Amino acid sequence: MSAAKSKGTAFETLIVKALASYFGGRYGLAPRRVAQEGFKDSGDVHGVSPFIIQAKAYKSWEEAIRLGLDGAEKQKHHAGEPYAVAFVKRPRRSIGDAYAVMNVATFARLLLRLRSAEAGLRASDPAAFEVHASGTAEDTERPFPKG
């Protein structure tokens, strides 16, 4: 295995371990690496529906963002997921400091989905919404794994 491939595999593995630790198996989130499929590649990390993750550990951030996001946008269709995100490694920084990059259209669609779901929960079950809001606040305070 080449040094570059080895570096990429290590970054993917670190992503999976950190996310799995942070999610703790909640809500069916079970990050895992998947085998590459060439032309039908479907991303580097699955089990984070409604996303696929394309990981890039390049020296050039510009190239990592461009290739990572362009690849992820194509690969989400192969994986049958609506959203794509590129994780870009930051040298000498912890996994929680890596960049998660998406395009503006994905951000807008995701924000609408989140707000719609929260508005529906608040309207149908205000008590459940309060539990959700409290849990979300707790999650923002929980430290992310260093990796």
Residue 1 has pLDDT above 80, yes or no: no
Dist. CA 9–CA 98, nearest whole Å: 15
The single-letter DSSP state of residue 5 is H
What are 65-78's pLDDT values in tens digits? 999 999 999 999 99
Judged by average pLDDT, the poorest of 32-41, 43-52, 131-140 is 32-41
pTM tops 0.85 = yes
Residue 132 has pLDDT above 80, yes or no: yes
What are 50-62's pLDDT values in tens digits? 999 999 999 898 9
Q: What is the pLDDT of residue 53?
A: 96
Q: Please give the mean pLDDT across all residues of the chain.
A: 92
> Over pLDDT 90: what percentage of the chain?
82
Q: Would you place residue 39 in the very low, low, confident or very high pLDDT band (cuts 50, 70, 90)?
A: low
Q: What is the pLDDT of residue 37?
A: 65
The single-letter DSSP state of residue 27 is G
Do 78 and 42 meet the contact criterion of CB atoms below 8 Å apart?
yes
Q: What is the pLDDT of residue 103?
A: 96
CB within 8 Å of 37: residues ≥ 6 apart: 78
Assigned fold of 3-104: Trna Endonuclease; Chain: A, domain 1 (3.40.1350)
Q: Please provide the DSSP assignment of 28-87 as one string.
A: G---EE----GGG---SEEEETTEEEEEE--S-HHHHHHHHHHHHHHHHHHHT-SEEEEE
Across the range 19-45, mean pLDDT stands at: 87
Dist. CA 17–CA 134, nearest whole Å: 26
